[in-house]
Amino acid sequence: MPPSVPYRGRIAPTPTGFLHLGHARTFSLAAERCRQAAGTLILRIEDLDTQRCKKHFAEAALEDLKSIGIAWHEGPDLGGPCSPYVQSENAAYFLEIWKRLKDAGAIYPCRRSRKDVAAAARAPHAEDEDAEPIFPPEWRPSDPDFGKDFADPGDYNWRFRVPDGEIITFCDAIQGPQNFVAGKDFGDFVVWRRDGVPAYELAVVADDIRMGITEVVRGADLLKSTARQILIYRALGATPPVWAHAPLILDENGKRLAKRSDALSVRTLLARGIKI
Ligand code: GLU
């Protein structure tokens, strides 16, 4: 048997607020799976949305993670071979990935706003609380080379041209077999925002590739995003990691804890002497 690739896992908070119980559970699971595999755990701060992300929340995230006993091997505080570990410090790299996707004909510039899409589209499934309106396929440029001559993203949203009707399948290490239909469960999604910020789907794949991540552990709310991200891996000619989506914590009414405005922060719980 060939020697297996050493495990590299990551925890990747977005510092838009204090970490809550849902984060604590997902990140603890990520740390535990990494420990069991005798792997390397990376801490990455996903702060590309500078409007919503705040430095003090990033600092608080590091403190809170340490308070609940999570330790990492590489990160903004420790450094490591994959520096920078803070996404906002790596604009040139994300631009390089934008260029690769553009040159491959996988993405195109688009002037339609979220509002336009919401007004025109139907939601994929009413019962799906993450349902994002589907970008109408008739708005997609028919010329597969449209946008290839751009030297930079300019003042446009850039969308990924999804293969309508293709079933994207993967076997999740926790949730089991998954499948999503491109064009039905999700449509052409934004990878680059017209305000010059790489969108989550591009940034997360770009950094997971750059950091050599072998397993992604995150919340089950991102299962559909994984299907989108598999398409980005394919367009970049890269191998996706193993996926492991942690169950979400729900409140007594079945509502996702993270969605509640009063979701208790890790620091509040610790201050009240509650063991997490
Ligand atoms: N930064 C994302 C979040 O805090 C996590 C993304 C991921 O793990 O892929 O929700």
48 Cβ closer than 6 Å to some ligand 1 atom: no
CA–CA dist 272, 105 (Å, integer): 53
What is the per-residue pLDDT across 150-203, written as a single tens digit (0 to 9) for each?
Answer: 999 999 999 999 999 999 999 999 999 999 999 999 999 999 999 999 999 999
Q: What are phi and psi of 37, to 5 degrees?
A: -90, 5
Query: Is the pLDDT reported for residue 267 higher than 90?
Result: yes
Asked if residue 48 is part of any domain, the answer here is yes
| Residue 218 CA to ligand 1 centre (angstroms) | 7
Atom of ligand 1 nearest to the CA of 217: 8
Asked if residue 47 is part of any domain, the answer here is yes
204 Cβ closer than 6 Å to some ligand 1 atom: yes
Asked if residue 180 is part of any domain, the answer here is yes
CA 61 to chain centre: 17
207: domain range? 8-271
Query: CA-CA distances (angstroms) from residue 25 to 20, 32, 69, 203, 254?
Result: 9, 10, 12, 23, 17
Query: Is the pLDDT reported for residue 63 higher than 70?
Result: yes
Asked if residue 105 is part of any domain, the answer here is yes
Which of 229, 252, 250, 224 shows the shortest CA–CA distance to 241? 229
| Residue 226 CA to ligand 1 centre (angstroms) | 11
- Please give, one letter per residue, the 3-state secondary structure of 136-149: CHHHCCCCCCCCCC
Here the tokens at position 44 are 């990455």
| Residue 143 CA to ligand 1 centre (angstroms) | 33
229 Cβ closer than 6 Å to some ligand 1 atom: no
What's the pLDDT at 122? 64
Residue 42 in 3-state DSSP? strand
Average pLDDT over residues 80-98: 98
184: burial class by Cβ within 10 Å (0-12, 13-18, 19+)?
A: middle
| Residue 100 CA to ligand 1 centre (angstroms) | 23
Residue nearest to atom 8 of ligand 1 (CA): 218
Question: Is 0.85 topped by the overall pTM?
Answer: yes
The residue behind tokens 């990691």 is 241
| Residue 104 CA to ligand 1 centre (angstroms) | 26
- Mean pLDDT, all residues of the chain: 93
* Sheet of strand 190-192, all strands in order from the earlier edge strand to the far edge: 107-110, 157-160, 190-192
Q: Mutual orientation of helices 91-103 and 223-236 as an angle, nearest 10°?
A: 70
CA 130 to chain centre: 14
Q: Which of 11, 18, 218 to mutate to test the pocket of ligand 1 (most atoms within 8 A of CB)?
A: 218
* CA contacts within 13 A on the Cβ side of 187: 20
CA–CA dist 249, 173 (Å, integer): 18
Length of the chain (residues): 276
| Residue 261 CA to ligand 1 centre (angstroms) | 19
CA angle 186, 206, 215 (to 5 degrees): 85
- How many domains is the chain partitioned into structurally? 1
What residues have CB less than 8 Å from 213, skipping those under 6 apart? 8, 9, 10, 42, 241
Asked if residue 143 is part of any domain, the answer here is yes
What is the per-residue pLDDT across 21-58, written as a single tens digit (0 to 9) for each?
Answer: 999 999 999 999 999 999 999 999 999 999 999 999 99
Sign, Cα dihedral of 33, 9, 12, 255: negative
Asked if residue 211 is part of any domain, the answer here is yes
40 Cβ closer than 6 Å to some ligand 1 atom: no
Q: Which of 14, 217, 232 to mutate to test the pocket of ligand 1 (most atoms within 8 A of CB)?
A: 14
Domain with residue 70: its CATH number is: 3.40.50.620
Asked if residue 73 is part of any domain, the answer here is yes
Asked if residue 1 is part of any domain, the answer here is no
CA–CA dist 10, 214 (Å, integer): 9
Average pLDDT over residues 215-234: 98
